[in-house]
Structure 1
Amino acid sequence: MSEAFKSISTGLTEALEHAQGKPVAAVVHEFKPIDVKAIRSQVGMSQREFAAAFGISLGTLRHWEQGTRQPHGPARVLLNVVAKEPAVILRALAS
């Protein structure tokens, strides 16, 4: 059996055990919901301004703020950085 197959097999076994509530050695990342409205308020922008500044559709931003959807992937990363360093992101986007 190849090393790659062993690694994949181990990962799948751990995933199944985790899904069954068993303790596993794998690192499990739990993501907390992001309060997008609070981030936008902290930056001091309207929904339109925030969406335009960060390349987010207005509809998507509204869904995030209403809690009917959650940001994922790069959008989640961007929002976390905006929450911590909004001036840096805005300066980088302006240049």
Structure 2
Amino acid sequence: MSTLFDSIKQGLNEAIAHQQGRPADTVVHQLAPLDVKAIRAQTGLTQQAFAARFGVSLGTLRHWERGDRQPHGPARVLMLVIAKNPEAVLSVLSS
């Protein structure tokens, strides 16, 4: 019977093997990078207005637009929704 410790140990060993480039039974999800600058351009908003409207710091937005960083988690989801239907997001935020 596997213990919690054994499970954690196995996970750590797999992570170490993956990081070292050795084969491991890990699943790696590669997400396509987002073009945040193009998403913002669709809205017609300046960087300052976009950051304020969607609750993102201006510095973070600039990093995303330069490609230094990518949005993750809920921020990534927000950017994808804005890309598909900016009017819906703007409508919800204005009410």
TM bracket (short chain) = 0.7 to 0.9
- Which residue does 1:88 correspond to in 2? 88
SS at match of 1:26: coil
SS in 2 for 1:56: coil
Give the 4+ runs in structure 1 shifted more than 3 A: none
TM norm structure 1: 0.78
Quick one: which amino acid aligns to residue 21 of structure 1? G
Question: How many residue pairs end up in the alignment?
Answer: 95
* TM-score normalized by the length of structure 2: 0.78
Q: Which is further off, 7-16 or 79-88? A: 79-88
Identify the residue that residue 31 of structure 1 maps to in structure 2: 31
2:64 aligned with 1:61:
no
Q: CA deviation at 1:49?
A: 1.9
Identity of aligned residues (%): 61
Q: What residue ranges of structure 1 are gaps of 5+ in the alignment?
A: none
| Equivalent position amino acid for 1:85 in 2 | N
**Unmatched segments (≥5 aa) in structure 2:** none
Letter in 2 for 1:93: L
Task: Find the aligned partners of 1:49 and 1:62 in 2 and give their Cα distance.
Answer: 13
**Aligned equivalent of 2:5:** 5
1:48 and 2:48 matched: yes
1:50 deviates by 0.9
